[in-house]
Amino acid sequence: MNPFLQLLLAVAVSMVVIPVARRVAPRLGLVDLPDARKVHTVPIPRVGGWGITLGILLPVLLILKLDPLVQSFLIGCMTLFAFGVWDDSRTIGHWLKFLGQLIAVAFVVYYGDLWVSRVPFIDGALPAAIGKPFTVFALVGVVNAINHSDGLDGLAGGEALLSLLALTVLGYTSGGALVLSIALVSIGGIFGFLRYNSHPAYVFMGDCGSQVLGFTLGFLVVYLTQTSNTAVSAALPLLIIGLPIADILSVLYQRIRGRMNWFKATRNHVHHRLMEIGFDHYETVVIIYSIQVAFVVSAVLARYQSDLMVALLYLVGLAALFSALTLAERTGWHVARAHGRPSRVSRAMAALNGSDLIVKGPLYVITCTTPFAILLSAVFVARIRSDLAIAAAAIAVVPAIHLLWPQRINTALLRVAIYATAVFPAWVLISDPAAMPRPVFVLTGALIILLVAAIVVYMRLDGNRRFETTPTDYLIACGVVALLVCGAIGISSRNFVEAILLATVLMYASEIIVGTGRGSRARRWLECSTLGALLIISLRGVL
pLDDT digits over 520-532, tens only?
888 888 889 999 9
Helix (H) or strand (E) holding 162: helix 155-174
Same domain, 390 and 534: yes
- Residue-level pLDDT at 459: 64
Same domain, 168 and 220: yes
Q: Which residues of 275-314 are buried (b: 16+ CB within 10 A; e: fewer)?
A: beeebebeebbbebbebbbbbbbbbbebbebebeebbebb
The residue from 284, 302, 331 where one domain ends is 331
Same domain, 107 and 141: yes
Same domain, 207 and 59: yes
Same domain, 306 and 348: no
Is residue 337 included in any domain, yes or no?
A: no
Q: Structural domain of residue 353, as residue ranges?
A: 344-542
Residues of the chain with pLDDT below 50 are 343-346, 349, 463-468
Same domain, 36 and 110: yes
Same domain, 410 and 265: no
Same domain, 357 and 428: yes
Dmax (CA) of the chain: 73
Into how many domains does the chain fold?
2
Q: Which of 211, 66, 238, 226 is nearest to 135 (CA)?
A: 226
The residue from 331, 362, 379 where one domain ends is 331
Same domain, 218 and 135: yes
Q: Could you read off the pLDDT of 228-259 as tens digits, one per residue?
A: 999 999 999 999 999 999 999 988 888 888 77
The residue from 283, 303, 331 where one domain ends is 331
Q: Could you read off the pLDDT of 454-504 as tens digits, one per residue?
A: 876 776 555 444 444 556 666 666 666 666 566 555 555 566 667 777 777
Q: Which of 161, 172, 171 is nearest to 220 (CA)?
A: 171
Same domain, 354 and 396: yes
Nearest-angstrom CA–CA distance, 137 and 457: 48
Is residue 276 included in any domain, yes or no?
A: yes
Q: Could you read off the pLDDT of 134-193 as tens digits, one per residue?
A: 999 999 999 999 998 887 877 888 899 999 999 998 998 887 889 999 999 999 899 888
Amino acid at 29: G
